[in-house]
Each structure stands twice: as structure tokens, then as C-alpha cells.
Amino acid sequence: MRRFAASPYGVVVLIAVLVAALPAVLPTTFYVRIAALVFIFALAVVGLNLLMGFAGQVSLGHAGFFGIGAYAVAIGPTHLGIPSWAAFVIGVALAALIAFLVGRPILRLKGHYLAVATLGLGILIAMVMTNEAAWTGGPDGMPVPRLELFGWRVRGPVTWYWVSGITLVIGAWIAANLIASPTGRAFRAIHDSETAARVLGVDVARYKLLAFVLSAAYAAVAGAYLALFDGLVTPDSAGFLRSIEFVTMAVLGGLGSIFGSVVGAMILTVLPQVLTVFHDYEHIALGAIMIVFMIFLRAGIVPSLLTFLRRSS
């Protein structure tokens, strides 16, 4: 049983069960809406985790790719007359292409230097979205036409709960597949020792780029979902704070743990809602809780708890 829980596929089943069972206990559509937001952010964080937790490369600019997905489904139908679903596909492809082109030069950088370069990339994308007001509506953002698929209008919290939940399960499954494959082993090898990976024949530059492109695609899918769900997109969706939020979710939940990504997204989405009972002290409480988590569960919530369970049994 524990072996199953620790295997990546056990985690996929766990997430699927969670998605299927949760509506039974969520009292109102308000909570369904929050759950849908958790799934959407979790999808972006699972992708980021492939890059950070498995391949060991940091990105402080992933909201940029999230924003590209979001603006694609806004600009495509509004300005270019492209149907939403096609704009969605184009947006994800565009994010992957930009990651491919920019990733090649910046992934030569390591550690803090890579962090600053990806930070710059994210800020640059957000600036374009703020300044190209004729296309993007500027700082106020723009409305996003509702998604329509074969006459089915995809709208409302319950619908988006299922769409984002099922996509998260698929996203987690793909990530689990990858981790158990030669590509996943190459990612993890690069994380632990680039030098050793190289002498064993791993083309390190290629695999770093692959992780970067894949994680950008995950972020773009999530960004498009959020825009379609909200019916509105602003430059904040691509902003620096959102990038930091993604990294925090990944680290808090546990780098290298797919379920950790879901837990991290859940805590940072749900906790601010719960903490509103503290009124003015909301942010202090949130900060304090995060610090306590990181001090006592320093490998992230899920990996630390797994280690604890293993030791105690």
C-alpha cells in the first residue's frame, strides 16, 4: 500500500479519487469555484515541478507563459476572429515556442543567474501585455469570450471544476509517465550531477530545454483555463507575483512530488480564504504559517510527511 502511495501512478489515482469525490463534500458553488482554481494552479505547478523538482532548474518567470495562454484565448476570438479552442491551441504552442527559443541561451546559466534571467523573461512578457493596450486592453485587461465546444457553452464553476479536474489528472498522469521514463531519469540525473549525466551520454542542454518547454506548456494550459473560467484577463496573471506564487506552491508542497504540487496549490489558494477571519492580520498569519511549514517540513509538505510516516512505521 505504501509502495503504491509512493509510486507516481499511485499519486495519479489519488488525485483522480480526490477530483471525483470532492463535489460530494463541497457545500456551495463558492467552494466548487475555489476547488476549480486549485486544480488550475496545480496544473501549472505540476509543470513547474518537472522543471524545478525533477530537472533541478529554477524559473521565476513562469507566469509569463501562464499569461501567454491567458491572453491567447482573449485576443484570438476578440481581435482575430479565431475560435476559442483554436486560440487555446495556438497559445500553448506559442508559449512552448517562446520557451524553446529563449530557453536555449538562458538555460546555460546556473542557479541564481538562471533565476534572474527567467525573472527578466517573465517581467518582459508582463510588460508587453501592459503596454500593448490596443491588443490587450492595457493594465485594466480585457474580457475573455466564453469557450464554446460543438455548441456546448463551457461556463460556470461546476463545469470548470470538471474540466480543470480532469485536465489535472491527465497532466499528473503525463508527468508520472515522464518521470518513470528514460527522459525522467535524465532530468533527475541532471539535478544531482550534470557532470556525471554528461559522461554517461545525456545531452544536458537538450533535456534542460525539454523540461523548460514542457513546463511552459503546462503553465499556458493553466493560464488559458483561468482566463476562460474568469471571463477576464489582466496583466497580473503574467506578473512577477504570480511567478513567485507558483514557485512557492511547488516548494511548499514539495519539489519532486507531484502530489506535493497539488497540496502546495491547495494551501496557497485555500489558506488566504480561510484566513480572512483574521481580518487585518490575514497576511501576517499566512506568512507565519508558511515560515513554520518550511522550518518543520523543510523538504516540502508531502515529501516530509512521507519520510515521517516511513520512519514511524
Residues in contact with other proteins by CB under 8 A are: 174, 177-178, 180-186, 188-189, 191-193, 195-204, 210, 256
85 or 187, CB closer to other proteins? 187
Q: Which residues, in sequence order, are CB contacts of 218 under 8 Å at separation 6+?
A: 43, 44, 46, 47, 48, 50, 171
Smallest separation (angstroms) from other proteins to the CB of 31: 33
Smallest separation (angstroms) from other proteins to the CB of 285: 33
129 or 172, CB closer to other proteins? 172
Nearest of 54, 90, 53 to residue 71 by alpha carbon = 90
165 or 256, CB closer to other proteins? 256
Smallest separation (angstroms) from other proteins to the CB of 6: 12
180 or 241, CB closer to other proteins? 180
What distance in Å separates the CA atoms of residue 12 and residue 257, rounded to the nearest whole number?
11
Count Cβ atoms below 10 Å from residue 200 Cβ, excluding itself: 10
Smallest separation (angstroms) from other proteins to the CB of 273: 34
133 or 200, CB closer to other proteins? 200
What distance in Å separates the CA atoms of residue 24 and residue 298, rounded to the nearest whole number?
33
What distance in Å separates the CA atoms of residue 276 and residue 271, rounded to the nearest whole number?
9
27 or 201, CB closer to other proteins? 201
What distance in Å separates the CA atoms of residue 65 and residue 251, rounded to the nearest whole number?
19
Nearest of 100, 38, 27 to residue 225 by alpha carbon = 38
Q: Which helix (H) or strand (E) holds 140?
A: none
Backbone region of residue 137 per phi and psi (left: phi > 0; alpha: psi in -120 to 50; beta: other values): left
Smallest separation (angstroms) from other proteins to the CB of 268: 25
Smallest separation (angstroms) from other proteins to the CB of 195: 5
CA 100 to chain centroid: 18
Coil vs helix vs strand at 28: coil
Query: Which residue in this structure is represented by grid cell 504552442?
Result: 93
What distance in Å separates the CA atoms of residue 97 and residue 293, rounded to the nearest whole number?
36
104 or 185, CB closer to other proteins? 185
For residue 135, which amino acid is it? W
Query: Which residue in this structure is represented by grid cell 508542497?
Result: 253
Smallest separation (angstroms) from other proteins to the CB of 176: 8
153 or 206, CB closer to other proteins? 206
Smallest separation (angstroms) from other proteins to the CB of 221: 14
